[in-house]
């Protein structure tokens, strides 16, 4: 369900289509540079297609039904979600091929997922416990629905998943025994690999995870339970996964937006950057601190701070970095040659970490060149449940 704009987005709505509106936004406002975003979507889809690997992008990074729709239009095999609340919000927003990429332990949430499946959505889930297989089977049967089920494998992240082939076989067998479940494959997400900056070091970490995965896949194959889909990987590893051909699909999330945490990662091994900073937060200069630094109206309530400090752009030109000075304030540390920035100036900042930053915003202000072109609601914002 697309929300009617409120707050700064409601004030900004009147600017849609106006020349120069990009630099007149009410702030703080999450901004999506449409041109960079579309290039990011196309680059990943193209890389995966050429490598012969499918992609099931992760919505934890954007939480937005319109972005999920565009990822599907670019050829995605479905959309991953991190939490039931995130999945259900995107389902309400119109997405209908959604996979919950983590095991859960709540009968009420399993029931809500089964109700979505009964309404016609294709709902995928992952399991790493036999009782969870039974709970999904019971809820799906009760609602006359069916879940697509992935066995979750741990290849070194030590977060979820079973770490040996025999346990994977038991789970796969339990799934195939249930008429309300469909055994579609396995998930093996190796999160530690994704942010290794150096390409060769990332390749060798990914290869190590793939050796663990390949051994478990062999045990499943010997048991007659070879998975149809082998899902995992992310923005940092998708090219390597396409080359290794152990996974059959990747789950990249951050690539749509990018952030300062990913900026140093040499994703394709050629010095990059292949993916640009599409997500920004626009802030306004509201004053000057005593040594003359410009103070902005956005702090930790507008940016998740768990990453390197943002770069600041004024009319598209980089002018410095943000230093935090409170929940509602930032301080611009200008590069030489960029002097006083007048009060009322709107600048755009890259984000330290995109996933938790978008979780702070109800709307994306979609901009192209110098103008605001649309508002997209972030339906699953706040849905960490």
Ligand X SMILES: Cc1ncc(COP(=O)(O)O)c(C=O)c1O
Q: Pick from 191, 273, 308, 382: which binds ligand X (CB under 6 A)? A: 191
Q: How far apart are CA 226 and CA 184, in angstroms?
A: 10
C-alpha span between 259 and 356 (Å, rounded): 11
CB of 28 to ligand X, least distance (A): 23
By CB under 6 A, the residues from 301 to 360 that bind ligand X are none
User: Partners of 191 in the beta sheet?
Assistant: none
Nearest approach in angstroms of CB 80 to ligand X is 6
DSSP string, 318-362: EEEEEEE-SSS-EEEEEPTT-----TT-EEEE--S-HHHHHTT-S
Quick count: other Cβ atoms within 10 Å of Cβ 379? 26
251 near ligand X, judged by CB under 6 A = yes
Q: How far apart are CA 343 and CA 285, in angstroms?
A: 5
DSSP state of 141: H
State in angstroms the smallest separation of the CB of 232 from ligand X.
7
Which one, 253 or 298, has the nearer CB to ligand X? Answer: 253
Instruction: Kindly tell me which of 236 and 299 has the beta carbon lying closer to ligand X.
Output: 236
Give bridge partners of residue 30 from the DSSP assignment: 281, 364
Q: Are 188 and 246 in contact (CB under 8 A)?
A: no
Residue nearer to ligand X on the CB measure, 262 or 303: 262
Please report, for residues 18, 89, 123, 140, 350, the alpha-carbon distance to residue 100 in angstroms, rounded to integers and kept in the order given: 40, 12, 8, 15, 29
CB of 351 to ligand X, least distance (A): 13
Which of 161, 227, 234, 242 lies at the binding interface for ligand X (CB under 6 A)? 234
Query: Does the protein bind ligand X through residue 254 (CB under 6 A)?
Result: yes
Q: What tokens appear for 121 in the block?
A: 């959505």
Name the residue number minimizing CB distance to ligand X.
234
Nearer residue to ligand X within complex by CB, 96 or 235: 235
Q: Is 189 in the site for ligand X (CB under 6 A)?
A: yes
242 touches ligand X (CB under 6 A):
no
Task: Read off φ and ψ for residue 54, nearest 5 degrees.
Answer: -80, 165
Residue 30 C-beta: closest distance to ligand X, Å = 17
| Contact pattern from residue 52 through residue 91 relative to ligand X, giving x for each residue in contact according to CB under 6 A and a dash for the rest | ------x-xx------------------x-----------
When binding is defined by CB under 6 A, the residue of 21, 96, 99, 101 that contacts ligand X is: 101
Q: Counting contacts by CB under 6 A, is residue 99 touching ligand X?
A: no
**Smaller CB distance to ligand X: residue 86 or 348?**
86
Helix and strand numbers (H, E) in the chain are: 11, 17
Which residues contact ligand X by CB under 6 A? 58, 60-61, 80, 101, 189, 191, 194, 234-236, 251-254
């Amino acid at each position: 369900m697309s929300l009617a704009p409120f707050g700064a987005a409601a004030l900004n709505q009147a600017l849609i289509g106006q020349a120069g509106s990009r630099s007149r936004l009410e702030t703080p406002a999450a901004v999506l540079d449409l041109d960079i975003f579309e290039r990011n979507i196309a680059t990943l889809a193209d890389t995966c297609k050429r490598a012969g690997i499918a992609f099931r992008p992760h919505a934890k990074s954007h939480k937005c039904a319109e972005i999920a729709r565009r990822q599907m239009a670019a050829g995605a095999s479905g959309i991953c979600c991190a939490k039931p609340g995130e999945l259900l919000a995107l389902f309400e927003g119109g997405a209908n091929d959604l996979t919950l990429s983590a095991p859960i332990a709540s009968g009420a949430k399993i029931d809500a997922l089964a109700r979505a499946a009964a309404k016609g959505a294709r709902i995928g889930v992952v399991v790493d416990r036999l009782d969870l297989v039974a709970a999904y089977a019971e809820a799906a049967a009760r609602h006359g629905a069916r879940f697509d089920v992935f066995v979750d494998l741990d290849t070194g992240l030590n977060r979820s998943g079973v770490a040996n082939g025999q346990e994977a076989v038991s789970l796969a067998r339990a799934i195939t025994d249930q008429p309300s479940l469909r055994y579609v494959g396995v998930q093996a997400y190796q999160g530690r690999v994704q942010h290794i900056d150096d390409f060769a070091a990332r390749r060798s970490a990914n290869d190590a995870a793939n050796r663990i995965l390949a051994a478990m896949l062999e045990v499943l194959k010997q048991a007659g339970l070879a998975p149809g889909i082998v899902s995992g990987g992310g923005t940092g590893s998708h090219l390597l996964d396409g080359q290794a051909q152990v996974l059959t699909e990747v789950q990249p999330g951050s690539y749509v937006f990018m952030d300062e945490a990913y900026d140093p990662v040499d994703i394709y091994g050629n010095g990059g950057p292949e993916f640009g900073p599409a997500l920004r937060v626009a802030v306004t200069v509201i004053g000057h601190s005593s040594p003359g630094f410009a103070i902005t109206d956005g702090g930790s309530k507008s940016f998740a701070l768990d990453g390197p400090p943002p770069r600041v752009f004024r009319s598209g030109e980089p002018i410095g970095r943000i230093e935090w000075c409170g929940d509602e304030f930032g301080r611009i540390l200008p590069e030489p040659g960029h002097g006083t920035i007048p009060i009322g100036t709107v600048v755009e900042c890259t984000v330290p970490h995109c996933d938790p930053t978008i979780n702070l915003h109800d709307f994306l202000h979609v901009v192209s060149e110098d103008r605001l072109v649309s508002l997209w609601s972030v339906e699953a914002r706040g849905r960490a449940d």
